[in-house]
Amino acid sequence: MRTVSWKNGKIVLIDQTRLPNSFELIETDDLNRVATAIRRLEVRGAPAIGVTAAYAMALAARQSQAREPRAVSADLQKARDLLAAPRPTATNLFWALDHMLAFAGERLENGSDGLAEAMLAEAQKMADEDVAINQRLAEIGSELIPDGARVLTHCNCGPLCAVDLGTAMAPVIYAHSQGKKVHVYTDETRPRLQGAKLNAWELAQAGVPYTLITDNTAAWVMSQHKVDLVMIGVDRVAANGDTAAKIGVYGVAVLAHYHHIPFYAISPTSTIDMNIPGGSQIPIEERDPDEVRKVNDTWITMPDANVVNYAFDVTPHELITAIVTEFGIARPPYRPAFESMLRA
């Protein structure tokens, strides 16, 4: 099933914090609950967050009691601000919110009748487009995966990070389905363990051979010539190709560069932010220190231990071999490559 969907007037989300121990759904028509799900990482992954936000904006339109276009627009802006607050780094969230706000604005010029239905149809269209885009990422990215390849990845970037299919693991799962022999080394991904909890589960579901490793094992398996390429999903790409992704990806990129291993970022063009010239301008989310102090609600250090908990880091474009998009494979220099793709 899809990670994010709409059913009987409610947004339906797979609760990713329950996996792999149990498969549970969140069904809600409460905008505050949707914002909480985004903040708690019950729904996560840039494309999945974006489509969730689009559905939430449609929900806000359905629930608005206003009839005058300006008042409806104010209700939608309030919903946009609520949903934008939890995750400042992932550009898909803001892209989806602003797309839906602009979509509503155009229709409100002719009054508010039919707006909610039109916004829901647009959100559903965005969900379908996400699946189609990720199918293209899977097909294009699989061309980079030779038969017998051993792929290292970090965090979760399969079907759960999107509406379906995923980003960085979509080419791997597709290559496997086409008969290629592939093996994935998946980092556990501290502190939330998305690699251990989610990526391993997804790969097992798809029947893809994998080995779970601790984050600090990546250097050693590379040095033992057990990794042929790295594929990672991303949360925001600057115009020059600098890439924000789950904390730890920068370190993996440095290791891959040292060991002369190709490093590929898999990114729908909606994740490319041409308004940000370089990675230093990307806002980096800091999360609750207790995510580091605890593992599965068990304290592993003192409750008052001093902690910094960055959710993302930025990989400089010089360390990225290529960026796979739904329009093809972008190679350095990235800005003209992106401009060409976005004009298409």
Residue 328: band (very low, low, confident or very high) from pLDDT cuts 50, 70, 90:
very high
Taking the C-alpha atoms of residue 63 and residue 31, their distance in angstroms, rounded to an integer, is 10
Question: What was the pLDDT predicted at 336?
Answer: 97
Cα(52)–Cα(123) distance, integer angstroms:
9
pLDDT at 208 over 90: yes
Q: What percent of the chain has pLDDT over 90?
A: 93
Task: Look at residue 318 and tell me whether its pLDDT is greater than 90.
Answer: yes
Spatial separation of the C-alpha atoms in residues 61 and 104, rounded to whole Å: 9
- 172: tokens are 């791997």
Facing residues of 299 across strands? Answer: 294
- pLDDT tier, 186 (very low <50, low <70, confident <90, very high otherwise): very high
- Residue 86: pLDDT band (50, 70, 90) is confident
pTM of the model: 0.93
Q: What is the pLDDT at residue 151? A: 98
- What pLDDT is stored for residue 83 in this prediction? 96
Average pLDDT in the 301-312 region?
Answer: 98
Contact (Cβ atoms closer than 8 angstroms) between residue 107 and residue 63:
no
Instruction: Cite the beta strand spans of the chain per DSSP E.
Output: 4-7, 10-14, 25-28, 149-153, 182-187, 210-213, 229-233, 236-238, 243-246, 263-266, 272-273, 294-295, 298-299, 312-315, 322-325, 328-330
- What's 70-112 look like in SS3? HHHHHHHHHHHHHHHCCCCCCHHHHHHHHHHHHHHHHHHCCCC
242 given a catalytic annotation: no
Question: What is the distance between the alpha carbons of residues 167 and 265, in angstroms, rounded to a whole number?
Answer: 9
pLDDT digit string, tens, across residues 234-263: 999 999 999 999 999 999 999 999 999 999
For the cut 80, the answer to whether the pLDDT of residue 344 exceeds it is: no
Question: Which pLDDT does position 109 carry in this prediction?
Answer: 87
Annotated catalytic residue within 235, 242, 273, 313:
235
Residue 290 in this model has a pLDDT that exceeds 80: yes
Domains and CATH numbers, the chain: 4-134 (1.20.120.420), 139-343 (3.40.50.10470)
DSSP 195: I
Model pLDDT for residues 42-71, shown as the tens digit of each residue = 999 889 999 999 999 999 999 999 989 999
* Dihedral sign of CA atoms 36, 37, 40, 46 in order: negative
CA 61 centroid distance within chain: 25
The pLDDT score that the predictor gives to residue 337 is: 97
Q: Mean per-residue pLDDT for 163-178?
A: 96
Concatenating the DSSP letter of every residue in 229-263 gives EEEEE-SEEETTS-EEEETTHHHHHHHHHHTT--E
Model confidence at 20: pLDDT above 80: yes
Q: Using 50, 70 and 90 to split pLDDT, how confident is the model at 110?
A: confident
Predicted pLDDT of residue 40: 94
Residue 329, pLDDT score? 98
Q: H or E stretch including 203?
A: helix 200-206
CA separation for the pair 249, 189 (Å, rounded):
9
pLDDT above 90 (res 90): no
Q: Average per-residue pLDDT in the chain?
A: 96
DSSP code of residue 278: S
In this structure, what is the dihedral angle of CA atoms 243, 5, 100, 61, given to the nearest 10 degrees?
A: -150
Which residue did the predictor score with more confidence, 109 or 156?
156
Q: What is the mean pLDDT of residues 250-279?
A: 97
pLDDT (mean) for 100-121: 92
Task: For residues 66-82, give the mean pLDDT.
Answer: 94
